[in-house]
Amino acid sequence: MNWIANFLALIAFVPASSVNLPPGTGTRVDSFSDNFEDRNWSYTYNAPKVYNRYHNPGSGWVNEIPAKNAPFGQSTNNKWHEGQVRGQPDIVEQVPTPSGGIPGSQYALRLATKDCGTPNVTRGTLQQDDLLLRPGNQSVNLAKGKGVSVVTRIYVPPLSEWENRQGYHIGFRVGATGEKNGKSENYWPGIWIWFNNKAGEQSYQFVVRANEKGEDAFASDRRHTRGGWWTLGMAFNEDGSISYYASPGVDDLKASDILAYRAGSQSAVATYKAYGLEFQDLDYVFFSLGSNDGQWATEFIVDDVAVYRISS
């Protein structure tokens, strides 16, 4: 397994005790959170959606984003909005909360997509749709030093129900502003769920986007085979790094839930200055769904998406 040796050579091993406070610490920012409990919650698609033309016309892969006139898709509570680069999932639907969810939760959000590229252009190629938690299409504007974090619950289906495809399936991500060498840049770090689709050895793992070099990195050596609820979170630390967390079930995240890649007696916790940028400001939260265009993506259910801060 040369890739493991190469991976371990690139990361620094640090004790888990060096991490910061776990996501969900502090005060919930209700205006930038959603638990989907409103019985009148619904989503208006305002078709046609944005089509992302990421394709190879024969001269190499290109990314063309055609313009679309408003209105874009949005939820009735004006918190969720269609991604204006790739378009929204084909199914954004309030559903009863699956068994084992947050105590008292009656409703959650179903996400699935099929036509996530451009008709007659990208069929059969890996594409992506985005759904943004961006109330009123405004940025949350929570800066570094305020103890900012984000949390969600995701219901992972049984392996038999996944799209028959190795790779990324759902991402819990943020739009943020980072800084490097005195220059500000937009970036989109997050946690992806990666499906290992080898016959007889199907499983899923957590991948973070990204390490200091801008490369996606397996956040943990563990492979999971059971479906059910997971709690995912990201903490934005005072030094500009981001720490990534995941825990089975729906309990609040603890410091020990930080993702870590273990090798022997050492472990590398998933804390990175993604792309070499120091986090400065949180703008919005979003989900990305990936699939081969024209093929139904793996269906996920999410609940209680929330932003937290420690200081005002």
Instruction: Express each pLDDT in 190-212 by its tens digit.
Output: 999 999 998 888 999 999 999 99
Short-list 83, 67, 117, CA closest to 294: 117
| Residues spanned by the domain of 286 | 2-14+25-309
In a domain, 19, yes or no: no
The domain tally of the chain equals: 1
Local confidence band at 120 (pLDDT 50, 70, 90 cut-offs): confident
Would you call the peptide bond into 210 cis, given omega within 30 degrees of 0 as the criterion? yes
Say if residue 17 is exposed, middle or buried (CB neighbours under 10 Å; 0-12, 13-18, 19+): exposed
Judge contact between 187 and 282, C-beta under 8 A.
Answer: no
In a domain, 218, yes or no: yes
In a domain, 20, yes or no: no
Pick 18 or 303 by higher pLDDT. Answer: 303
CA distance 193 to 37: 26
DSSP tag of 69: P
**Per-residue pLDDT tens over the stretch 218-261:** 999 999 999 999 999 999 999 999 999 999 999 999 999 999 98
Q: Provide, rounded to the nearest whole percent, the portion of the chain with pLDDT above 90.
A: 72
In a domain, 58, yes or no: yes
DSSP tag of 240: S
> Which CATH number characterizes residue 45's domain?
2.60.120
- Average confidence score pLDDT of the chain: 90
In a domain, 134, yes or no: yes
CA distance 17 to 259: 13
Reported pTM: 0.90
Short-list 69, 113, 283, CA closest to 184: 283
CA distance 227 to 98: 12
CA distance 137 to 82: 10
In a domain, 176, yes or no: yes
The whole-number pLDDT of residue 192 equals 98
Please report, for residues 23, 91, 172, 251, 310, the alpha-carbon distance to residue 231 in angstroms, rounded to integers and kept in the order given. 10, 22, 11, 7, 20
The whole-number pLDDT of residue 7 equals 44
Q: CA angle 178-180-185, nearest 5°?
A: 40
What is the three-class DSSP state of 254?
coil
In a domain, 142, yes or no: yes
**Per-residue pLDDT tens over the stretch 125-173:** 888 999 999 998 888 889 988 899 999 999 999 999 999 999 999 999 9
Judge contact between 173 and 189, C-beta under 8 A.
Answer: yes
**Per-residue pLDDT tens over the stretch 42-94:** 999 999 888 876 666 667 767 766 666 678 999 999 999 999 888 999 999 99
Which residues, other chains included, contact 206 with Cβ-Cβ below 8 Å and sequence gap of 6+? 191, 192, 193, 194, 218, 219, 220, 244, 246, 259
The whole-number pLDDT of residue 51 equals 80
| C-alpha of 239 from chain center | 22
* Strand 149-156 relative to strand 167-180, pairing: unpaired
The whole-number pLDDT of residue 259 equals 97
Whether the predicted pLDDT of 298 surpasses 70: yes
In a domain, 155, yes or no: yes
